[in-house]
Amino acid sequence: MTRFLRLIGRDLRLALRQGSDATIAVMFFVLCVVLFPFGVGPEPNILARIAAGVIWVAALLASLLSLERLFQNDYEDGSLELLSLSTLPMEAVVLAKTLAHWLVTGVPLIAAAPLLALLLNMDAEGFGVLVLTLLVGTPILSLIGSIGAALTLGARRGGVLLSLLILPLYIPVLIFGAGAIDAALNGLTPRPHLLLLGGLLAGALPLAPWASAAALRQAVE
Amino acid sequence: MPESAGSVFAGSALTCLRGDRLVFTGLDFRIAPGEALFLLGPNGSGKSSLLRVMAGLLKPIRGRLSWDDVPVSDDPDAHRGRIHYVGHLDAVKPVLSAVENLTFWATLGGAADPRDSALRALDRLGVPHIANVPGRYLSAGQKRRLNLARIIAAPAALWLLDEPTVALDRAAIALFEEIIAEHRAGGGMVAVSTHVDIAMPGARNLHLDDFTPVLHGEDDDLTDEEDAA
């Protein structure tokens, strides 16, 4: 367990010292959302109507942006090889790295989301649910993304391949994430959507590290 | 030394396939406590592949590895706990200082007091002054010393070293020879591939070109999975 935490600690430290990955993801997220009023026009009703979907799509893309680097650095400098030879199971390595990735890129998104919702004129009733869906949803994005990142490791143009592999898998998260907010805004209960998101998280938590670990073992061979 | 002092690490009838090229076949080796094995052979003869097979990074398509006559594949986790592998890459993070880099690996390797053993390992390799230098400012030789410090920062019975002396100066090689000798005196085992002369008294040589398959068009049957690993 201490090794698991140390690995998270190392990844957080690396991310904070390099700084770029975390800020790029959240900047991209903000810019992406800010583009919509320019494209769709400043009509408040339209913006309020599409706010939930826009924020969620932007969150998907932002999380995708940094995923390519999830294992890349460790793979290139030989650390991944050594991690796979450590007594820490590969699944735990994946989980630790994904968790660190989520803390660095997912959490800032969640923090920035209410501000963007305000910008898009979303009804204040939706804010709580928005944060809640992102809180449950972004870890799923990181977990599913880790599979793609592991599979495309060492491939040329891995980032593009990663998007093609992973974006379709993000669709359920998008549907239930945006759906929960829409339900709340229309006076319905977001509960079923949130429960389904929770179910996705409960499924992804054991399955994604297992699949990624298998892909990583192939990659270091 | 680790609990495994007194154990024997051996491989028998190992066959390794990379892509669709047969690297070596029918290879046997045996390393007893305190022994060292030199892997010799021209480029491409499979020295690195053999070390990766020994480490468990690569699965041989035939043959078996055993530790005290127990197949390594029965308990790969235990095997990982008793080896240190040094490959071509130094795994040094540019934004972490040398001691931070090393402390992390010492923690993963199960050292009791990681930071302390990291500092002592740097000292042992003659580079105590780089402890607080970020990885990105280290020279190739210093990175290599840092990587070698990793294997003494946490204990492991078997060292698998792939060209460990690359980028090292003469003084560092001499130091490293001493470290290997100490490791062997404590019952440790070493397998080294190298092109530079490293003094390892009493080391056995394994010529990999002896096991390079002679092609006569009947290798096809070697590819069917026999799950012998």
B76 touches chain A (CB under 8 A): no
Question: Would the CB atoms of A87 and B108 count as touching at under 8 Å?
Answer: yes
Count up the domains in chain B and report the number. 2
The count of other CB atoms within 10 Å of the CB of residue A15 is 20
pLDDT interval class at B6 (50, 70, 90): low
- Return the DSSP state at B136: G
Residue B65: name the closest of B41, B82, B43, B86 by CA: B82
Whichever domain contains B208, its CATH number is: 3.40.50.300
Question: Would the CB atoms of B110 and A87 count as touching at under 8 Å?
Answer: yes
B175 and B206 share a domain? Answer: yes
Distances, alpha carbon A132 to alpha carbons A66, A70, A127, A194, in Å: 22, 25, 9, 8
Give the helix ranges, DSSP H, for chain B.
Answer: 47-55, 76-81, 98-108, 114-124, 140-153, 170-185
CB-based contact A98:A146 (threshold 8 Å): yes
The 10s digit of each residue's pLDDT in B137-187 is: 999 999 999 999 999 998 899 999 999 988 888 899 999 999 999 999 999
B229 touches chain A (CB under 8 A): no
Where are chain A's structural domains? 2-220
**Looking at this protein, which amino acid is placed at residue B79?**
H
Last residue of a domain, which of B103, B120, B155?
A: B155
- B51 → chain A, closest CA residue: A221
CB-based contact A25:A18 (threshold 8 Å): no
Q: Which residues of B touch A85 (CB under 8 A)?
A: 55-57, 80, 83, 85
B193 and B163 share a domain? Answer: yes
B62 and B8 share a domain? Answer: yes
pLDDT interval class at B7 (50, 70, 90): confident
Looking at residue B215, its pLDDT comes to 63
The 10s digit of each residue's pLDDT in A13-60 is: 998 888 777 788 899 999 999 999 999 888 888 898 899 999 999 999
The count of other CB atoms within 10 Å of the CB of residue A1 is 7
Q: In chain B, what is the greatest distance between 2 CA atoms, to the nearest angstrom?
A: 57
- Positive/negative CA dihedral, A24, A63, A56, A131: negative
CB-based contact A180:A197 (threshold 8 Å): yes
Encoded tokens for A115: 């501000």
Cα(B1)–Cα(B154) distance, integer angstroms: 10
Looking at residue B216, its pLDDT comes to 57
* Angle ∠(A87,A91,A93) on CA atoms, nearest 5: 65
* Local mean pLDDT, 10-residue blocks, chain A (221 residues): 89 86 88 92 88 93 88 91 90 95 92 92 89 95 94 84 91 94 91 95 95 92 82
Looking at residue B228, its pLDDT comes to 41
Question: Would the CB atoms of A81 and B91 count as touching at under 8 Å?
Answer: yes
Residue B18's beta-bridge partner residues?
A: B21
B63 and B9 share a domain? Answer: yes
CB-based contact B45:B212 (threshold 8 Å): yes
What is the distance, to the nearest Å, from the Cα of residue A70 to the centroid of all Cα atoms in its chain? 11
State mean pLDDT over B191-204.
83
The 10s digit of each residue's pLDDT in B97-146 is: 999 999 999 998 888 888 899 999 999 988 999 989 999 999 999 999 99
* Angle ∠(B9,B214,B60) on CA atoms, nearest 5: 35
B178 and B113 share a domain? Answer: no
DSSP secondary structure letters along A76-142: HTTHHHHHHTSSS-HHHHHHHHHHHHIIIIIHHHHHHHHHHHHHTT--THHHHHHHHHHHHHHHHHH
ipTM: 0.85
B204 and B149 share a domain? Answer: no
Distances, alpha carbon B77 to alpha carbons A84, A85, B9, B82, in Å: 10, 9, 15, 9
Last residue of a domain, which of B124, B155, B186?
A: B155
B144 and B105 share a domain? Answer: yes
**Pairing of the two strands B62-67 and B70-71:** antiparallel
pLDDT interval class at B218 (50, 70, 90): very low
B105 part of a folded domain: yes
Mutation target for B interface from A16, A82, A84: give the one with most B CBs within 10 A.
A82
B72 and B110 share a domain? Answer: no
- Could you tell me the residue range of the domain that residue B205 belongs to? 1-82+156-216
B146 and B176 share a domain? Answer: no
pLDDT interval class at B205 (50, 70, 90): confident
Cβ neighbors of B168 (< 8 A, separation 6 or more) are: B141, B144, B145, B176
Residue B108 has its nearest CB partner, among A76, A88, A220, at A88
Please identify which residue in the block is written with the tokens 């989301």. A113
B77 and B168 share a domain? Answer: yes
Check residues A28 and B201 and name the one with the higher pLDDT.
A28
Cα(B82)–Cα(B84) distance, integer angstroms: 7
pLDDT interval class at B224 (50, 70, 90): very low
pLDDT interval class at B4 (50, 70, 90): very low
Cα(B193)–Cα(A142) distance, integer angstroms: 40
B22 and B121 share a domain? Answer: no
The 10s digit of each residue's pLDDT in B41-61 is: 888 888 889 999 999 888 888
A43 phi and psi angles, rounded to 5 deg: -65, 110
B35 and B98 share a domain? Answer: no
pLDDT interval class at B3 (50, 70, 90): very low
